[in-house]
Amino acid sequence: MQKTKSMLFHAQFLFTLLVCAFLIVPVVQSVVAGLTENFIMGVKSGLTLRWFVQVWSLYRDTIFLSILIALTCLAVTLILGVPAAYAMVKKQNRWTRLFEELLVTPLAVPGLAIALALIINYGGFTGFRTSWIFILVGHVIFTLPFMVRSVIAIMNSVSLKEFEEGAASLGAGFWQRFFQVVIPNALPGILAGSLMVFTLSIGEFNLTWMLHTPMTKTLPVGLADSYASMRLEIGSAYTIIFFLMIIPLLIAMQWVAKPRQREFVMEKSHAATGATVLRPIAAASCSPDQKEGGRKLSGTALRLVNCAKTFVDGTRALEPFNLKVEAGETVVILGPSGCGKTTLLRIIAGLESPDSDGRVYFGEDDVTDVPIEKRNVGMVFQSYALFPNMTVAENIAYGLKVRGIEAAPRHQRVSEMLDMMKIGQLQNRHIDQLSGGQKQRVALARAIAVRPKVLLLDEPLTALDAKLRDLLRVEIDSLLRSLGITAIYVTHDQSEAMALGDRIVVMNTARVAQVGSPREIYFEPQTRFVAEFIGTINRLKGRLQEDRLVFPGGSIPLPASSAVRAGENGNVELFFRPEHAALVEFGQGHLHATVVASFFMGDRTRVIIEGSSDDYLTIETKGIQSFKKGQRVEVAIDPGALLRLDS
């Protein structure tokens, strides 16, 4: 095995060397020919630079003109191509798609045909036809697609949309976003495109040969002339000059294409090391102006009236929605993915507008038509949307800078935030040098630094591992409480919702399922969806007989106060949570059942039983007892905890 592999390796290696020889031998020949007295005699005839001197006197104009055209072509493609690429990434519509399609055609149409077309159309304008601008036009058409595609590729690969939304949430307008966020983050692609354009323009021949005039000869045209003159030494020396011009460009291209990564500071997910990497932020460590008086109401009340959202394709992302959030309140929007909760948050943020009759109020102000950058919100994105082109401190300062806050107070506020989040030691780091938990804190600091009216958090903990999530949940909770800021927190994690929310809005399929305090949601769910989404719930199917519920495995007396006693004697479905039942001694319970499975969870044991209902029931029990499959058990249920739910 090893032997055949090494034979295969050597065969391929030899083949590769042969291919390389085919490509490089003539290059070496030309270098030798250009530097020796006599091409046929070779090195024996002696080395000389006289051919270079001759090339210089005969053809130096072509070199200058080529550089002039390549530089101008680069400038034009930058000015035209980069904004167009941005617009095409941002706005996907018929026109931009058509243009993207059209941009491929100069690659498909041979240069000769483009040149011919240009001559037929513009050849009559003699001044234009005989100037180098005419060649420039051809080069621009030929190279523009490369620039646009290179920039589009980079803009699609960095999460431009998130960065832009991040910048907008901090108050940056269109041009600020374009120049401070879009361009810096697209820089590698712009650079790669620039090198490509410059190299292509320097070496372009197909178009140029047709477009040139005796007064406007470029380097490749000169090369063709020198080859046609049949003086191999001069042709070779001229070719060496061309090589010398493109070699730095090729090296630069390889350098640009090489992926570079900054040193990444690993973060351990263990609680112990997690604590050293992330020093806990305490509620008391908040900035002085917000410390006193416990829960200070610094936020703004928020009101959504009739906010619906229908997407262009007709999908209803959100049914008409009404919500009132008190100043300083934390409201958690909870629901499964695709339920419309993110759309709701984006409507509040100003990243989406509600359908025409929906209104969004901050306090008494109708902000429905105010763009996000003017709303003064703070937003923490799921991916954090931290700007990779800025350091930690610059990220935090960005919103203040956009607001035109002067350097001194800006620095003060930034160091305040760094202290508050205990990330002072990270302030000069770049974003890709941060761990997930650290990014989270920077994102929070950046959002809070601008003293927003409303803080919006879009699943801010989803990207973190479980242990860190628990830690940061506690921190966010104490932070929100000490700041007293109005906060809307979107999550699909019920334990996050329970821990953080003053109120929870449970959503399902674009509608509100229930609004209430965590306790109300948990103990008094109004629908089966809510009951099942939050925690675990068991279903008992049976019949009401007098004041008892009777089902196959037993019966339960219903207390007089119970809501299920609607006086009917028909079939009913009742629900209860695992912790409202217990496994008891035989003869003391309400129903008999058989163990299907049991899961030891450490602090408790979860037992799945069957026999008293169509469904399995889940019971939780504390203590050290273990259970075997098939074991008979008896269960007592708290009758007061039985719920009746609409499906």
Residues 105-124 that bind other proteins (CB under 8 A): 105-114, 116-118, 120-122
Site string for other proteins, 131-170 (x = CB under 8 A): ------x--xx--xxx-xx---x-----------------
Measured from the CB atom, the residue of 200 and 332 that comes closer to other proteins is 200
Min separation Cβ 250 and other proteins, Å? 6
**Residues making up the chain, counted from first to last:** 647
- Residue from 169, 176, 216, 239 that binds other proteins (CB under 8 A)? 239
Task: Tell me the closest approach of the beta carbon of residue 131 to other proteins, in angstroms.
Answer: 15
> Using CA atoms, how far apart are residues 606 and 601, in angstroms rounded to an integer?
7
Q: Which is nearer to other proteins, 289 or 369 (CB)?
A: 369
**250 lines the binding site for other proteins (CB under 8 A):** yes
Count the Cβ atoms, other than its own, within 10 Å of residue 158: 16
Cβ distance to other proteins smaller for residue 95 or 600: 95
- Output 188 or 484, the one with its CB closest to other proteins: 188
- Which positions ≥6 away from 443 have C-beta within 8 Å? 380, 381, 384, 385, 386, 460
- What is the nearest approach in angstroms of other proteins to the Cβ of residue 109? 4
| Residue 52 in contact with other proteins, rule: CB under 8 A | no
12 binds other proteins (CB under 8 A): yes
Name which position in 52, 67, 72, 83 contacts other proteins (CB under 8 A): 83
Nearest distance in Å: CB 453, other proteins: 18
Size of the site for other proteins (CB under 8 A): 93
210 binds other proteins (CB under 8 A): yes
3-state secondary structure of 353: coil
Give me the least distance between CB of 100 and other proteins, in Å please.
9
Phi, psi dihedral angles at 56 (to 5 degrees): -60, -45
Residue 408 interacting with other proteins (CB under 8 A): no
Closest alpha carbon to 237 in 429, 55, 41? 55
Q: Using the rule CB under 8 A, is 183 a contact of other proteins?
A: no
Q: Which of 35, 103, 190, 344 forms a contact with other proteins (CB under 8 A)? A: 103
Can you tell me the distance from the alpha carbon of 224 to that of 202, in angstroms, rounded to the nearest whole number?
14
In degrees rounded to 5, what are phi and psi of residue 550? -110, 130
Q: Rule CB under 8 A: say whether 87 interacts with other proteins.
A: yes
- Rg from Cα positions in the chain: 36
Q: Give me 621's structure tokens.
A: 């029990």
Within 63-82, which residues bind other proteins (CB under 8 A)? Answer: 79-81
The residue range among 94-102, 314-322, 328-336, 513-521 that interacts with other proteins, by the rule CB under 8 A, is: 94-102
Q: Shortest gap between Cβ of 5 and other proteins (angstroms)?
A: 7
- The nearer residue to other proteins, 224 or 297, going by C-beta atoms, is 224
Closest CB to other proteins among residues 371, 424: 371
Residue 407 beta carbon to other proteins: minimum distance, rounded to whole angstroms: 29
Interface mask toward other proteins for 336-375; x: CB under 8 A? --------------x--x---------------xxx----
How many other CB atoms are found less than 10 A from the CB of residue 122?
A: 13
Nearest distance from C-beta of residue 76 to other proteins, angstroms: 8
In the bound complex, what is the minimum distance in angstroms from residue 588's beta carbon to other proteins?
57
Among 50, 64, 97, 99, binds other proteins (CB under 8 A): 99
The answer to whether residue 442 forms part of the interface with other proteins (CB under 8 A) is no
Alpha helices for 170-298 (secondary structure H): 174-177, 183-203, 206-211, 219-228, 232-257, 271-277
Closer of 123 and 640 to other proteins (Cβ)? 123
Shortest separation between residue 31's beta carbon and other proteins, angstroms = 10
Interaction between residue 332 and other proteins (CB under 8 A): no
Shortest distance in whole angstroms from residue 373 CB to other proteins: 9
Q: Cα(287)–Cα(310) distance, rounded to whole angstroms?
A: 41
Nearest 10 degrees: Cα torsion 13, 15, 17, 21 = 180
Nearer to other proteins, 249 or 283 (CB): 249
* Residue closest to 647 by CA, chosen among 525, 561, 564: 525
- Residue 83 vs 184, nearer CB to other proteins: 83
Stretch that binds other proteins, among 16-24, 381-389, 437-445, 619-627 (CB under 8 A): 16-24
Q: Does 43 bind other proteins (CB under 8 A)?
A: no
Contact code string over 217-236 relative to other proteins, x by CB under 8 A:
---x--xx--xx---x--xx
| Closer to other proteins by Cβ: residue 164 or 620 | 164
Nearer to other proteins, 15 or 600 (CB): 15
Q: 3-class SS at 609?
A: strand
Give me 251's structure tokens: 């090296």
What DSSP state is assigned to residue 382?
Answer: T
Q: Are 503 and 333 in contact (CB under 8 A)?
A: no
Q: Which of residues 21-40 bind other proteins (CB under 8 A)?
A: 22-27, 29-30, 33, 39-40
Comparing C-alpha atoms, which of 645, 636, 574, 578 is closest to residue 605? 578
Strand partners, 638: none
Separation CA 296–CA 289 (nearest Å): 10
Q: Does 199 bind other proteins (CB under 8 A)?
A: yes
CA 252 to CA 271: how far, in whole Å?
45
| Beta pairing class for 632-637 and 617-621 | unpaired
**What's the CA gap between 373 and 398, in Å, rounded?**
13
Q: Per rule CB under 8 A, is residue 15 in the interface with other proteins?
A: yes
Which of 90, 231, 422, 592: binder of other proteins (CB under 8 A)? 90
Shortest Å, Cβ 27 to other proteins: 7
Contacts of 540 (CB under 8 A, 6+ apart): 549, 551, 573, 574, 575, 576, 612, 613, 617, 637, 642
Helical ranges in 91-173 per DSSP H: 94-108, 111-122, 126-129, 132-157, 160-169
Task: Between 109 and 474, name the residue whose CB sits nearer to other proteins.
Answer: 109
Per the CB < 8 A criterion, the answer to whether 157 and 186 are in contact is no
CB contact at 8 A, 388 and 158: yes
- Shortest distance in whole angstroms from residue 177 CB to other proteins: 10
AA identity, residue 116: L
CB of residue 82 vs other proteins: minimum separation in angstroms? 9
Report DSSP state, residue 561: T
Helix, strand or coil, per DSSP, at residue 576: strand
| CA dist list (Å): 417 to 215, 376, 382 | 64, 18, 20
Please report, as residue ranges, which positions from 369 to 388 form the binding site for other proteins (by CB under 8 A). 369-371
What whole-number distance in Å separates Cα of residue 391 and Cα of residue 96? Answer: 34
* Residue 174 near other proteins by CB under 8 A: yes
Beta strands in 371-510 (DSSP E): 377-380, 454-458, 486-491, 503-508
Q: Write down the least CB distance from residue 124 to other proteins, Å.
A: 11
